[in-house]
């Protein structure tokens, strides 16, 4: 599968750039929106949580910066999955009328959202720099491990995306199931609160550790916010999930691919 | 438009790839091989979603364990081979499985059973368009399409100008494809497809959408590909085009391969069957109109109208022609002079003495036909004229006459009688016709006037202009030489023999 997709990298590249261009087609500011959106989020979170509420949670201050470091990877993951799920249906014209490698479409959805994540990155970095300047002990050289974090989340998202895309063709409820599940999982992932703040609720910690999204979000928080090198256990956990998702997702997609064109 | 420019790049790598024509080269085996291919579709039944998913996961198809009424057999047990360099046509009515078959060949669909083998790079244009994305520009679609068809970005860049020039869309490539007309869509799709240098080009009903000039350019390009040993699979409803372009033609009928062979023979057989079906439809329409309860105007067929005083009435009318068993084109040994004034004095005697005729509403141009009507006048009339007219469905009169024009003066008509109008060698052009019959007084006052009493269709061996197939013969001086001899004569005995021998070949 990987080698096959690599052989199609030209097509994937073209489609990804098309996806990005299509999003801002006709808008005056274009890619500036990719920056403006997270910047606005940062401003609002800062106002609400660091000025008005001031939540006192161990290991999460300044809170707005903590929130962003977990939230942006989560947005990448969840938006990717939602877009990947409907990717085959929205591009039905392509796969019905040409010999089109359908597996490309979910992958393109994940990659396009990766680019959006990368666009938001300067905002996170800027926030970290400002926070450090204000005396908070956030960030560090561990940020160099960011590409590795991306490298494990990418196959995880793509694998699940492949499976969901193929399943959604046959079973359109997949999309709604996914959306509700993601809303639920959002609160079960340590994005709004740090893991450290849950020491007094061991049952919740256990539930959270069952959430496949948790290790990935924590990887980003560790490298970006805490400025720590994530421990080996966390890496292994994330990498294991990524391999599993990619293998199973790819298998489901291949299994369903002969019937996709007529069902779509 | 410079036709040479778009082809220039073939001077490079393309030439080395070009293969010897079918049957000559070492690898002259079939380019396309179809073995007992069946394709079943499931009918859309909501509520079986999970079962569908299970079937897709377990059986890897969508029709596992379906009962016959839950599925549609789009293609049944079709087998054929197409050699390299061959132009292969697929014809058939809508829903006959042509396009499904082409999708199976292109690899877009997987057969339910059987095998499809295609050797080489395939470019397919299915159902008007090669899978463009509506929201993005023509330029980007060229790149996506080219990538899908297996070209690298650099190869597409090299050919980009040729593609745009060929499509003739220079002014519109930056526009989103959704704003294109269907003609522009097809032009772009065809341009990309032929510039990917395919070994097998599959085209589904594309040339009929573009304008005349583009159709010519496409044909030019297709011929050029064929001459370089590339293979063409061609689906079209334009039978003349199929006849011109293809080396062999397959006629698909309700999912099955009905006839495979030389284009002229297959196309003729297909036309024949279409006309027969139309003839049956005309008969059914006529019978439905004759149902006693649908006698009123409300129940009558579309264009049929009836008016008159009712002093005389047309009870029924039929179209008779020779029983279809004989060879259709060959006219009967009709040696009598064609004398229109030959009176109906012979009529009562010949009523039973006619050769075996059958009621039929599908004719071959030049056939001997008889219109028969039954007229009644219970009260009795002195002044009666019987008239007949043939018109196109839109009401253009082709021919009409009546007993008065032919010089018959009535003395007395009482009771019910049969009138036959014999038309030896009725040379109508191919098409649909409507029959009008009337009984009226000499001054035109109608007793019973029936417009569009029934319709019938005519097939002709060759296309022509206008409604009447004039009997003609071509003669040329020796200065003009012909690579192929045409027909030139319609309905003449010896030529029909020649025609039938050619069909037999």
Task: Give the CATH number, domain containing residue B418.
Answer: 2.70.50.60
| Closest of B36, B24, B35 to residue B84, by C-alpha | B24
Phi-psi sector, A227: left (phi>0), alpha (psi -120 to 50), beta? left
Interchain proximity A93–B134, CB inside 8 Å:
yes
Q: Does B299 score more than 60 pLDDT? A: no
The three-point CA angle B84-B260-B457 to 5° equals 135
- Which residue, B238, B232, B237, B242, is CA-closest to B264? B242
| B265 and B325 inside one domain | no
Q: Is the pLDDT assigned to residue B12 strictly greater than 50?
A: no
Chain B residue set in contact with A, beta carbons under 8 Å: 41, 49-50, 52-53, 56-57, 60-62, 106-110, 122, 124, 126-127, 129-136, 140, 143-145, 147-149, 152-153
Kindly determine whether residue B124 and residue A99, on different chains, have CB atoms separated by under 8 Å: yes
Mutate to test the interface with A, among B112, B124, B144, B202 (most CBs of A within 10 A): B144
Q: Taking the CA of residue B298 as centre, how many other CA atoms within 13 Å lie in the half-sphere pointing to its CB?
A: 1
Q: What is the pLDDT of residues A71-83, one digit of tens each?
A: 999 999 999 999 9
pLDDT tops 70 at residue B45: no
pLDDT given for residue B1 in this prediction:
36
- Helix (H) or strand (E) run with residue B91 in it: strand B87-91
Asked whether residue A222 carries a pLDDT value surpassing 70, the answer given is yes
B505 falls within a domain: no
The Cα of B232 is separated from the nearest Cα of chain A by a number of Å equal to 17
Is pLDDT of B501 > 50? Answer: no
* Number of structural domains found in chain B: 2
Burial B92-103 (b: 16+ CB within 10 A, else e): beeebbbbbbbb
pLDDT in tens, B182-225: 888 888 888 888 888 889 998 887 777 778 888 888 888 888 98
Kindly state whether residues B226 and B89 are assigned to the same domain: yes
Residue B387's nearest CA partner among B463, B314, B288 is B314
Closest Cα in chain B to A172? B49
Q: Find the length of chain B.
A: 505
- CA distances A119 to A34, A38, A192, B303, Å, are 6, 9, 22, 68
Whether residue A144 lies within 8 A of chain B, CB to CB, comes out as no
pLDDT for the residue B238: 86
Distance CA(B103)–CA(B99), nearest Å, equals 6
pLDDT surpasses 60 at B491: no
Give the pLDDT score at B347: 44
Tell me, what's the pLDDT at B99?
Answer: 86
Residues of B in contact with A256 (CB under 8 A): 56-57
Mind listing the pLDDT tens digit for each residue in A87-133?
999 888 778 877 788 899 999 999 999 999 998 898 899 999 999 99
Do B219 and B129 have their domain in common?
yes
- DSSP strand pairing (B413-426 vs B367-381): antiparallel
Residue B188 lies in a domain: yes
A172 in B contact zone (CB under 8 Å): yes
Helix (H) or strand (E) holding A84: helix A63-90
CATH for B152: 3.40.50.300
Same domain, yes or no: B347 and B253: no
In a domain, B112, yes or no: yes
Residue range B423-450: average pLDDT?
92
HEC assignment per residue over B340-383? CCCCHHHHHHHCCCCCCEEECCEEECCEEEEEEEEEEEEEEECC
Structural domain includes residue B291: no
pLDDT at A115: 92
Amino acid B65: pLDDT: 61
Is B261 within the bounds of a domain? yes
Q: Which residues contact B130 (CB under 8 A, 6 or more apart)?
A: A97, A98, B123, B124, B145, B148, B149, B189, B192, B193
In terms of Cα–Cα distance, which of B150, B120, B169 is closest to B6? B169
- Supply A32's token pair: 């500036």
- The answer on B356 and B213 residing in a single domain is no
Res A30: pLDDT: 72
**Lowest mean pLDDT, pick from A206-215, B81-90, B329-338, B420-429:** B329-338
CB-closest option in B41, B131, B136 to A262: B41
- Element (DSSP H or E) covering residue B426: strand B413-426
- B127 has a pLDDT exceeding 60: yes
What is the pLDDT of chain B when averaged over all its residues? 78
Among B210, B266, B254, residue whose Cα is nearest residue B88? B266
Chain B residues with CB-CB distance to A165 below 8 A: none
Asked, for residue B490, whether it belongs to a domain, the answer is: no
Residue B180 forms part of a structural domain: yes
Indicate if B98 and B161 belong to the same structural domain: yes
- Is B249 in contact with B90 (CB distance < 8 Å)? yes
End-to-end Cα, chain B, rounded Å? 42
Same domain, B379 and B249: no
Are residues B315 and B440 both part of a single domain? yes
Residue that is written with structure tokens 């003839």 in the block:
B279
Instruction: Specify whether B234 is located in the same domain as B327.
Output: no
Taking residue A214's Cβ as centre, other Cβ atoms within 10 Å add up to 23
Are residues B358 and B225 both part of a single domain? no
Closest Cβ opposite residue A262 in set B57, B109, B126: B109
* Averaged pLDDT for residues B338-355: 44
pLDDT at B494 over 60: no
B75 CB neighbours in chain A (<8 A) are none
Distance from CA of B41 to the nearest CA of A (A): 8
Q: CB contact, 8 Å: A255 with chain B?
A: yes
For the cut 70, the answer to whether the pLDDT of residue B67 exceeds it is no
Domain extent, residue B145, equals 5-28+83-272
Does B144 contact A93 at a Cβ distance shorter than 8 Å? no
Is the pLDDT at B466 greater than 60? The verdict is: yes
Report pLDDT for B395.
Answer: 85
Check if A10 contacts B (Cβ < 8 Å).
yes
Q: Is the pLDDT of residue B11 over 50?
A: no
Whether residue A9 lies within 8 A of chain B, CB to CB, comes out as: no
Q: Same domain, yes or no, for B259 and B377?
A: no
Q: Is residue B426 part of a domain?
A: yes
**Confidence at residue A240, expressed as pLDDT on a 0 to 100 scale:** 96
Average pLDDT, chain A: 88
Q: What confidence tier does B48 reach under pLDDT thresholds 50, 70, 90?
A: low
Tell me the pLDDT tens digit for each residue of A159-194: 999 999 999 988 888 999 999 999 999 989 998 888
SS3 (DSSP) at A228: coil
A170 contact B CB<8A: yes
Kindly state whether residues B266 and B406 are assigned to the same domain.
Answer: no
Q: Which two tokens stand for residue B159?
A: 């050919």
Which chain A residues are closer than 8 Å to B130 by Cβ? 97-98
Q: Which of residues A160 and B66 earns the better pLDDT score?
A: A160
ipTM above 0.85, yes or no: no
Mutate to test the interface with A, among B46, B148, B151, B182 (most CBs of A within 10 A): B148
């Amino acid at each position: 599968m990987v080698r096959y997709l690599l052989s199609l990298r030209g097509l994937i590249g073209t489609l990804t750039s098309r996806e990005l261009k299509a999003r801002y087609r006709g808008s005056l500011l274009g890619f500036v929106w990719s920056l403006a959106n997270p910047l606005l989020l940062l401003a609002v979170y800062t106002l609400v949580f660091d000025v008005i509420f001031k939540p006192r949670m161990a290991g999460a201050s300044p809170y707005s910066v903590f929130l962003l470091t977990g939230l942006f990877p989560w947005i990448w993951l969840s938006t990717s999955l939602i877009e990947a799920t409907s990717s085959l249906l929205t591009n039905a014209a392509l796969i019905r009328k040409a010999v089109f490698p359908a597996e490309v479409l979910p992958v393109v959805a994940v990659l396009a959202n990766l680019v959006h994540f990368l666009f938001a990155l300067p905002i996170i970095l800027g926030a970290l720099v400002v926070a450090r300047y204000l005396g908070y002990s956030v960030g560090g050289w561990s940020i160099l491990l960011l590409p590795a974090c991306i490298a494990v989340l990418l196959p995880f998202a793509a694998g699940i995306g492949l499976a969901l895309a193929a399943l959604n063709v046959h079973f359109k409820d997949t999309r709604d199931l996914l959306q509700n599940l993601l809303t639920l999982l959002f609160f079960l992932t340590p994005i709004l609160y740090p893991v450290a703040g849950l020491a007094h609720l061991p049952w919740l910690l256990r539930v959270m550790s069952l959430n496949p999204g948790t290790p990935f979000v924590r990887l980003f928080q560790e490298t970006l916010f805490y400025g720590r090198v994530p421990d080996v256990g966390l890496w292994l956990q994330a990498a294991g999930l990524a391999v599993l998702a990619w293998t199973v997702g790819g298998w489901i997609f291949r299994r369903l691919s002969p019937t996709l064109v007529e069902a779509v | 438009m410079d036709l040479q420019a778009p082809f220039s790049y073939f001077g490079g790598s393309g030439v080395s790839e070009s293969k010897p024509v079918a049957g000559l080269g070492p690898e002259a085996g079939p380019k396309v091989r179809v073995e007992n291919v069946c394709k079943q579709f499931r009918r859309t039944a909501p509520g079986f979603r999970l079962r569908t998913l299970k079937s897709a996961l377990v059986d890897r198809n969508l029709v596992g364990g379906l009962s016959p009424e839950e599925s549609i057999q789009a293609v049944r047990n079709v087998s054929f081979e197409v050699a390299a360099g061959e132009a292969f046509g697929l014809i058939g009515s809508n829903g006959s499985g042509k396009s499904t078959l082409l999708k199976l060949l292109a690899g877009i669909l997987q057969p339910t059973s059987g095998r499809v083998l295609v050797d080489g790079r395939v470019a397919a244009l299915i159902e008007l368009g090669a899978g463009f994305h509506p929201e993005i520009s023509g330029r980007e679609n060229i790149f996506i399409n080219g990538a899908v068809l297996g070209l690298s970005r650099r190869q597409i860049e090299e050919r980009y100008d040729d593609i745009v020039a060929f499509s003739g869309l220079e002014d519109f490539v930056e526009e989103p494809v959704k704003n294109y007309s269907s003609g522009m869509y097809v032009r772009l799709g065809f341009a990309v497809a032929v510039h990917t240098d395919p070994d097998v080009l599959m085209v589904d009903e594309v040339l009929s959408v573009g304008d005349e000039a583009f159709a010519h350019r496409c044909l030019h390009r297709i011929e050029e590909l064929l001459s370089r040993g590339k293979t063409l699979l061609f689906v079209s409803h334009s039978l003349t085009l199929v006849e011109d372009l293809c080396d062999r033609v397959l006629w698909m009928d309700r999912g099955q391969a009905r006839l495979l062979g030389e284009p002229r023979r297959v196309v003729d057989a297909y036309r024949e069957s279409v006309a027969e079906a139309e003839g049956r439809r005309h008969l059914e329409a006529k019978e439905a109109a004759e149902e006693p309860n649908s006698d009123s105007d409300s129940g009558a067929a579309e264009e049929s109208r009836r008016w008159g005083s009712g002093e005389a009435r047309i009870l029924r009318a039929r179209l008779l022609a020779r029983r279809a068993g004989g060879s259709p084109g060959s006219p009967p040994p009709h040696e009598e002079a064609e004398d229109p004034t030959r009176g109906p004095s012979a009529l009562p005697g010949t009523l039973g003495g006619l050769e075996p005729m059958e009621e039929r509403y599908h004719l071959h141009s030049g056939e001997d036909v008889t219109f028969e009507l039954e007229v009644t006048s219970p009260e009795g009339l002195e002044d009666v004229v019987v008239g007949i007219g043939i018109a196109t469905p839109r009401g253009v009169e082709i021919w009409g006459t009546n007993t008065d024009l032919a010089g018959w003066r009535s003395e007395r008509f009482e009771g019910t009688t049969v009138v036959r109008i014999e038309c030896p060698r009725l040379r109508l052009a191919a098409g649909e016709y409507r029959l009008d019959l009337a009984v009226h007084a000499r001054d035109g006052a109608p007793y019973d006037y029936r417009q569009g009493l029934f319709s019938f269709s005519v097939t002709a061996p060759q296309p022509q202009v206008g409604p009447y197939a004039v009997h003609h013969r071509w003669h040329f001086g020796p200065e003009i030489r012909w690579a192929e001899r045409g027909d030139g004569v319609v309905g003449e005995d010896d030529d029909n023999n020649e025609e039938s021998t050619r069909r037999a070949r």
